[in-house]
Amino acid sequence: MSGTTLKTETLAAARSAKTVNPFWYKIRRNPLTLLGLFLLLLILLLSIFAPLISPYEPTKINIPERFASPSADHWFGTDEVGRDIFTRILYGARLSLGVGVAVVVGAGVVGTIIGAISGYFGGRIDQLIMRLMDIILAFPALVLAMAIAATLGPNLQNAMLAIAIIKIPVYVRLARAETLALREKLFVKAAVTFGISPWRIIARHIIPNALSPVIIQVTLDIGDAILLVATLGFLGLGAQPPTPEWGAMISIGWKYLLDYWWYPTFPGLALFLASCGFNLIGDGIRDILDPKANRS
């Protein structure tokens, strides 16, 4: 009977129906994110285990071996005073990663606080803060960073400060937008009626709930921050030699490009891979959170 055939068919279908694992589904659709993860882990591990990997010291001068081309002894060659470039890159990784994360997290924290204050109190404070942010954003990023770093004096800390200043407005806007929405929520209004001070409300209720877009933005910004610090270093406005910062290395190395190509090329490659890794991951995160997925 046709009824029985349908019944068996339905049972069989029910048994074989599989549920799709969400994690692998997403990764399968975006192998680039995986690549980013891999790159970052690689760099992280290399930087952490630098002393174990390389027998050389990053700042030890060794004139007889200056400008050695890449070989088994010196995988990436040596620079103008004989320092092993591979070693310097490994130690430089610690610097670049640390600096990149520090700058962006710093900007994120400060920006979120300012944005929450601006959004919560509104009125004149809000207007003032937003105009200030608009003005900062009116400058092309690198140009303003250069101006600030030049004014404050060329060293790594000032470069970090300059870049953090550049990055702050984005976080202020994000946090402000979230705050404006949160301000209207019931639990915040209730807190106000309980007489809780505005500062406490901002700290305990607003900021913790405003964090998620901020965190996403932080992951997206780290790659860019790393490049900016290195660029300032390249221009002589950031870390100064003999610090093994990638940008600073290139600031000296580039003049030797035609004769000793390895000197600027490998630090630059490291910069590229680090930035790429962060950007791939940031892109993947953004993709995962994107609701529009399926239209043909």
- Report the chain's C-alpha Rg in angstroms: 26
Q: How far is the CB of 6 from other proteins (least distance, A)?
A: 5
Binding of other proteins at residue 15 (CB under 8 A)? no
Residue in 39, 79, 76 with CA at minimum distance from that of residue 60 = 79
Among 38, 49, 128, 140, the residue binding other proteins under the rule CB under 8 A is 140
272 sits near other proteins (criterion: CB under 8 A): yes
Do residues 227 and 271 lie in contact, with contact meaning Cβ atoms separated by under 8 Å?
yes
Nearer to other proteins, 193 or 296 (CB): 296
Q: 197 by DSSP, 3-state: which?
A: coil
Question: Given the rule CB under 8 A, which of 48-56, 104-112, 121-129, 247-255 is the region that contacts other proteins?
Answer: 247-255
CB of 202 to other proteins, least distance (A): 26
Q: List Cβ<8 Å contacts ≥24 apart for 155-160.
A: 155/238, 155/239, 155/240, 156/99, 156/229, 156/233, 156/238, 156/239, 156/240, 156/243, 156/245, 158/237, 159/229, 159/232, 159/233, 159/237, 159/238, 159/239, 160/99, 160/102, 160/103, 160/106, 160/229
Residue type, 41: L
Q: Which is nearer to other proteins, 132 or 180 (CB)?
A: 132
Q: How distant, in Å, are the alpha carbons of 83, 215, 235 from that of 77?
A: 8, 39, 23
Q: What is d(CA 53, CA 100) in angstroms, rounded to the nearest whole number?
A: 23
- Interaction of residue 65 with other proteins, rule CB under 8 A: no
Considering beta carbons, is residue 119 or 268 the nearer one to other proteins? 268
Residues that contact other proteins, how many (by CB under 8 A): 68
Residues in contact with other proteins, shown as a per-residue x/- string from 193 to 232 under the rule CB under 8 A = ------------------------------xx--x--xx-
Choose the stretch contacting other proteins; rule: CB under 8 A; options: 8-16, 169-177, 193-201, 207-215.
8-16
Residue number with CB closer to other proteins (91 or 262)? 262
**Stretch touching other proteins by CB under 8 A, among 46-54, 74-82, 126-134, 194-202:** 126-134
Stretch of 46-54, 113-121, 148-156, 174-182 lying at the interface with other proteins (CB under 8 A): 148-156
